């Protein structure tokens, strides 16, 4: 089970960061590189506990769909989304927001299993983990810029 952990300090209160991270519109704005759009579920506003959203995006040149559901929610400290269906065998994505020195220490933990058994493990070693780290980091940097405006 690979785990990607990304930490970032944001010069904004936890509530601002928390709300930006769960906003459907912000998600679309911060994932333009993969052309993400909502095709089912919560389609606007801020996603809440037990709600789900289905995203359509292009990864590795292939149009894909992924449905994620919010399984844990503690405003403004933490929320967790987990894959219901999609390209991964499974994933659990934890978003933490810790008040720190007048701002927020944002921590993203992406715990996942690649599909396709041994082939998926090899793909993870060769490119998937690096791709996902870059994808998450790019999104978090965009969230940071929005929060600090």
Q: Are 112 and 129 in contact (CB under 8 A)?
A: no
Q: Are 135 and 60 in contact (CB under 8 A)?
A: no
Tell me, what CATH number does 62's domain have?
3.30.530.20
Average per-residue pLDDT in the chain?
A: 97
The span from the CA of 122 to the CA of 37, in Å, is 29
E runs forming strands in the chain: 3-10, 37-41, 52-59, 62-74, 78-85, 90-100, 103-113
pLDDT per residue over 13-24, tens digit each? 999 999 999 999
Torsion from C-alpha of 76, 142, 133, 74, nearest 10 degrees:
10
The 10 Å Cβ neighbour count of residue 118 is: 8
What is the pLDDT, as a whole number, of residue 77? Answer: 98
pLDDT per residue over 114-138, tens digit each? 999 999 999 999 999 999 999 999 9
- Of the chain, the percentage scoring pLDDT greater than 70 comes to 100
Overall domain count for the chain = 1
Residue 67's domain comprises 3-148
What is the pLDDT, as a whole number, of residue 1? Answer: 75
Whole-model pTM: value is 0.95
Q: What is the mean pLDDT of residues 26-45?
A: 97
């Amino acid at each position: 089970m690979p785990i990607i952990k990304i930490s970032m300090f944001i010069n904004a209160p936890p509530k601002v960061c928390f709300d930006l991270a769960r906003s459907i519109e912000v998600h679309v704005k911060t994932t333009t590189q993969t052309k993400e759009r909502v095709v089912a579920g919560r389609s606007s506003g801020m996603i809440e506990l037990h709600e789900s959203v289905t995203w359509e995006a292009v990864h590795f040149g292939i149009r894909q769909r992924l449905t994620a559901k919010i399984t844990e929610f503690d405003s403004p400290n933490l929320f967790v989304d987990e894959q219901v269906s999609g390209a991964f065998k499974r994933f659990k994505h934890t978003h933490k927001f810790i008040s720190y020195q007048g701002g927020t220490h944002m921590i993203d933990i992406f715990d996942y299993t690649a599909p396709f058994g041994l082939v998926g493990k090899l793909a993870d070693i060769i490119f998937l983990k690096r791709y996902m780290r870059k994808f998450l980091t790019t999104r978090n940097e965009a969230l940071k810029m929005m929060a600090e405006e």
